[in-house]
Homo-oligomer: A and B are copies of this chain.
Amino acid sequence: MTPTHALPAVLQKIDADLDQSLERLFEFLRIQSISTDPAYKDQCQSAAEYVAKDLSGIGFKTSIRPTEGHPIVVGKGSPRANGKAPRVLFYGHYDVQPVDPLALWETPPFAPRIATLPDGRKIIVARGACDDKGQVMTFIEACRAFTAVTGELPLPITMMIEGEEECGSNHLFGFVKDNADEFKLDLALVCDTSMWDPTTPMVTTSLRGLVYEEVRLTCADRDLHSGLFGGAAQNPLRVLARILAAMHDDSGRVTIPGFYDGVKELPPDIKADLKGLDLTPANFLAEVGLKVPAGENDRMLIEQIATRPTAEINGVIGGYTGEGAKTVIPAEATAKVSFRLVGAQDPQKIRAAFHSFVRARLPADAKVEFKSFASAPATDLPFDNPALAKTRAALAAEWGKKALAIGEGGSIPIVGDFKRVLGMDTILVGFALDDDRVHSPNEKFDLTSFHKGTRSWARILAALAA
């Protein structure tokens, strides 16, 4: 029985097993695998073990590969007769974002539950419900259904589920490079992106890159009383404010010298397509309480979030931040700053330019230390890759609507390495929605995204195997 012939039965199996699929997902969601915080190291290990055990149960040959950070789960499975089906690498991550501010969660972040929205949509609520545990499980559940119905996977699949995506994938790059022969397959698949809207599927054909930096400024060798020293002592918060404020000009353009090197203008026809989508503040920003696009003021909203580079301040701390008043001039101030990259922007050059930009603005008595986190260039999928057409057709069949092919604003750093190191294109299909509160309190994943996402992957796998 070919995967195409088996597909109707596989879809039926997915529908019939939905409750058990959710139980498995909930078990996964209960594991507090916050990768960026060392306090959760054991929980990350538990999440890796959970995934490995689950994949073994479907017949994957599984291993938990240690790194200097959190481990990477690798699983390999294949049908008895390969034919000419492409060998695919599926990439996802078992780690999740921190949960702060915890007080804003309506229920505990690691106690998953089903809830119903006022508009009747059923949702899965938990940290990681969408990013990326819920999305990863749509793929695993599709594999499971195929195996249950046909006794084997529809095509050769290697799974790579890492545990450091939310803190920069620091050890994945070396792992892929060191084991390039093992992972040099025909095509990569990733499920960590969004739908265009709740009824319109989408293949993400470009991703912004990322550079993430921490800047720590110090001045005096201790905290000072602002009455005694105020006026004479350099204040690192003031220095930091001036640096951060200087990163953008009044038009919203980033001012760091050389920042836009490698940024190309979109071809007019693609730009017209983007304009045709009619993404407006009312249908994109309003749902998070905003009204006016804050990016480069000569760009469409869709460009600002998908095809233009950005500089963003992700966190600042310094001085007294408790309740009440303290008249202190702090000894230090710290900011986390990140850049989304597009086109051929070079992460190393951007990082160096940012460091120079900061150093050039240090007054006497201010010293700086940098910590570098993630660094990845932007990536693009060629529009003529045949897997793209097959995937779009499969998605259209499931959702009854043409699947868009479009760039997205987020970064999945490893996708660039799949291309550069392993020579593989990546098909990015995901079922997140704009209101999923990814990285925020009360993260959710629509039950429809989970269910029809699983069905979508079954269809995509059958299409790729044909």
Residue contact B308 to A319, C-beta cutoff 8 Å:
no
A208 to chain B, nearest CB (A): 7
Identical chains in the assembly: 2
At the interface, yes or no: A135 with Cβ under 8 Å from chain B?
no
Residue contact A226 to B322, C-beta cutoff 8 Å:
no
- Residue-wise, chain A 291-334 has the 8 Å CB interface mask toward B (1 for contact) of 11111100001001100101011111111111111111110011
Residue contact B98 to A320, C-beta cutoff 8 Å:
yes
Which among B97, B167, B231, B284 is the interface contact of A295 at CB below 8 angstroms?
Answer: B231
Residue contact B36 to A167, C-beta cutoff 8 Å:
no
Chain A residues within 8 Å of chain B by Cβ, number? 99
At the interface, yes or no: A336 with Cβ under 8 Å from chain B?
yes
At the interface, yes or no: A206 with Cβ under 8 Å from chain B?
no
At the interface, yes or no: A242 with Cβ under 8 Å from chain B?
yes
At the interface, yes or no: A237 with Cβ under 8 Å from chain B?
yes
At the interface, yes or no: A224 with Cβ under 8 Å from chain B?
yes
Residue contact B317 to A222, C-beta cutoff 8 Å:
no
Residue contact A312 to B340, C-beta cutoff 8 Å:
no
Residue picked from A295, A308, A321, A340, most chain B C-beta under 10 Å: A321
Known contacts A231-B305, A439-B224; decide if A212 and B314 are in contact (CB<8 Å).
no
At the interface, yes or no: A363 with Cβ under 8 Å from chain B?
yes
**Which residues from 194 to 248 on chain A have a C-beta closer than 8 Å to any C-beta of chain B?**
194, 208, 210, 212, 214, 219-235, 237-238, 240-242, 244-248
User: A residues engaging B (CB < 8 A)?
Assistant: 35-38, 97-98, 100-101, 104, 166-168, 194, 208, 210, 212, 214, 219-235, 237-238, 240-242, 244-248, 284-285, 288-296, 301, 304-305, 308, 310, 312-330, 333-334, 336, 338, 340, 363-365, 373-374, 408-411, 434, 437-441
